[in-house]
Amino acid sequence: MQKIYQSMEDNKRYLDERLGTGKNFDVISRMIEMGGKKACIYFIDGFCKDDVMQKMLQYFIELKEEDMPSDAEAMAGKHMPYGEIDLADEWEQVLYAFFSGVFLLLVDGYEKIILIDARTYPARSVDEPDKDKVMRGSKDGFVETIVFNTALIRRRIRSDELRMEMLSAGKSSKTDIVVCYMGDRVDRKLLGLVKERIQRLQVDALTMNQESLAECLYKHKWYNPFPKFKYTERPDAAAAQILEGSVVVLVDNSPSAMILPTTVFDVLEEADDYYFPPITGTYLRMSRFLIAILTFFITPTFLLLMGHREWIPAGFDFIILKDAENIPLIWQFLLLELAIDGLRLAAVNTPNMLSTPLSVMAALVLGEFSVNSGWFNSEVMLYMAFVAIANYTQSNYELGYAFKFLRILTLILTSIFGLGGYIAGCLILVVSLVCNKTISGNSYLYPLFPLNIKKLSKRIFRMRLPGAQK
C-alpha cells in the first residue's frame, strides 16, 4: 500500500489530482493556518455536519503557536474538539474514509493525516415500513442509512454479546456491510462462511444493494425459485432473529436486513405471530401455511377435474363450468397469470392520486366485461382472483413468485399429460423444496426434513415465550 508523502504540499497535490478538486463542485478544499503551521482541510459538501465543522475550524484558527503539538498523535490526543478521530498514513485508507464522508485534516510537518468522523448522511425519517406492516407492535423501520439501522437494533438488544462487524465490498462502490450476531449464540461455522464469502467478493459494485450481495453469496442453483434469504424492514424482527442465533446482514443504502440462514419456515413467519397471544398467533401462522399451499394447488386441480369430470365427487357438481369455453382453460389461466402481473406492475408505477380510480376501472373492465364478452369463464376468474389476493397473505415476494412459476409449470403439464402431468408438477414442487439448501448447506425443510419433532412443533405452533409464567 502506498504511504502518504512527507511534505504537505505533495500530499495536497496528490489529493487534488485524485479527488478532482476544482472539477467536482462538492469536493471542498481550504487552506488555513493553525498555531503557526500551514494546514489544509478536505470534505464533501453534504456529508459533514455544518455546525460541528464550523466549531472545529474556529478552534483550529484560534490555536496558538505554543499550544501546537509537534506530531499528529499528540494533536489527536490532546487538541481535537471532537470524539471520533483516527489517523492514517496510507492513501487507500485515506481515500476510503474521505469518500465515506470523513473530514480530512493535513498539517505541515505531520507524518499522518487526521481523519475526523463528523459525517452525516441525507436520510428519511424512521417510519413504519409499507411492506412489513403489523396490526400491533412497533411502528419504526429500517432506513437507507446503515448507522441508523444498527442503532435501531442496539436499542432493542442491550447486551455486551451483540457484535456488529463492519466489512466492505465492491471495487468501485466500496459498499459498507455490517454483520450482526450474538457472540454466545451464533453458529461459528456459518458466521465464518458468511464473512469469508463477503471478504472474497470480486465485484465492481453492489449496484442493487442486498440483491447483488445475495447473488454473490449464493451462486448455485439459480434455477430454483424458492428464496434463499429472508428480508425484513422491521428492527424488532431482525433483533429477534439475532437473539435466536441467526446472522443478520445490513447493507448501506438498503432499508432491509438479510437474515441467515433461511428455511421455508423462516420465510413464512411474520412479526404479527408474536404480537398476539399464542392461540391467535398459531391460527395466523397455520392459516398462512394453508393459504400458501392452496395458491399452488387450486388452479391445476380445477384444470385436472375439468378434463376428468367423472372424478368430481357427488355434491360438488357446482364447480363444473356453467358456460361454454370460448378459449381453452389452459390459455385462460395463462392469460390471467400474465394479466395479474401486469396489474401489479401498473399499480406500482401509478401515481397515488390515480391508483384508486384506475384500480376500480381495472376491476370493472377486466372482471365483469371480460366474462360478459366471453374471453374468460366466471369460475376461472374466481380462482385466479383468490390466487392473486392470497399471494399477499405473506410478505415475501420471492416465495409468491416461486409458487407462481411452479403453478404455471404444473398447469402446462396437466394440460398436456393430464393426471401424469399433475403428479409430475407436484413432484417438481417437492423436489425443489427438498433439494434446496440454505447458505450453510443445511436442509431447506429443516426441522421437517430431517425430522425434529420438538423444533417442528415450535415452527408450526406459536409457543409461549421462554420465562412466561405458567
Q: What is the pLDDT of residues 15-58, one digit of tens each?
A: 999 999 989 999 999 999 988 899 999 999 888 877 777 888 88
Q: Which residues in the chain come in under a pLDDT of 70? A: 81, 83, 219-222, 353-365, 465-470
Looking at the domain assignment, is residue 284 inside a domain? yes
Give the Cα separation of 460 and 449 in Å (integer): 14
| Any domain includes 215 | yes
> Cα 444 from chain centroid?
19
Q: Are residues 229 and 297 in the same domain?
A: no
Residue with cell 485534516: 105
Residue 105: domain span: 8-116
Classify residue 433: in a domain, yes or no. yes
Residues 39 and 100 both lie in one domain: yes
Among 248, 252, 249, 228, which Cα is nearest to 239's? 248
Residue 67, number of CB atoms within 10 A of its CB: 12
Considering the domain architecture, whether residues 190 and 290 belong to the same structural domain is answered as no
Instruction: Give me the phi and psi of 181, to 5 degrees please.
Output: -165, 165
Closest of 163, 158, 156 to residue 138, by C-alpha: 156
**Long-range Cβ contacts of 293-298 (<8 Å, 24+ apart):** 294/386, 294/390, 295/387, 295/390, 295/391, 295/400, 295/403, 295/407, 296/403, 296/406, 296/407, 296/410, 296/429, 298/383, 298/386, 298/387
CA distances from 204 to 170, 171, 207, 313, 314 (A): 5, 5, 9, 60, 63
Stated pTM of the model: 0.86
Give the number of residues written for the chain: 470
Quick one: 85 and 196 in the same domain? no
Q: Is residue 63 part of a domain?
A: yes
Number of domains in the chain: 3
Are 316 and 447 in a shared domain? yes
Does residue 284 sit in the same domain as residue 383? yes
Q: What angle do CA 267, 269, 270 make, to 5 degrees?
A: 115
Distance CA 378, CA 1 (A): 70
Shared domain for 153 and 255, answered yes or no, is yes
State pLDDT tens for residues 382-421: 999 899 889 888 888 889 999 999 999 999 999 999 999 9
Does any domain span residue 134? no
Place of cell 419456515: 265
Same domain, 306 and 384: yes
Cβ atoms of residues 358 and 346 within 8 Å: yes
Peptide bond between residue 447 and the one before it cis (omega within 30 degrees of 0): yes
Please report whether residue 271 resides in a domain. Answer: no
Alpha helices, DSSP H, located in 79-136:
91-99
Residue 295: its pLDDT value, please?
94
| Closest CA relative to residue 178, chosen from 163, 192, 166, 193 | 166
Burial 289-302 (b: 16+ CB within 10 A, else e): bebbebbbbbbbbb
Same domain, 258 and 303: no
Last residue of a domain, one of 116, 137, 166: 116
Reading the block at residue 229, the C-alpha cell is 434469504
Tracing cell 464533501 back to the chain, one arrives at 44
Query: Where among 95, 116, 137 does a domain terminate?
Result: 116
Give the containing element (helix H, strand E) for 259: strand 257-260
Describe the crossing of helices 329-349 and 278-307 by its angle, rounded to 10 degrees: 140
Report if residue 125 sits inside a domain.
Answer: no
Residues 6+ apart with CB under 8 A from 47: 101, 119, 120, 121
Q: Both 46 and 166 in a single domain? A: no
Asked whether residue 306 falls in the same domain as residue 447, the answer is: yes
Do 423 and 330 sit in the same domain of this protein?
yes
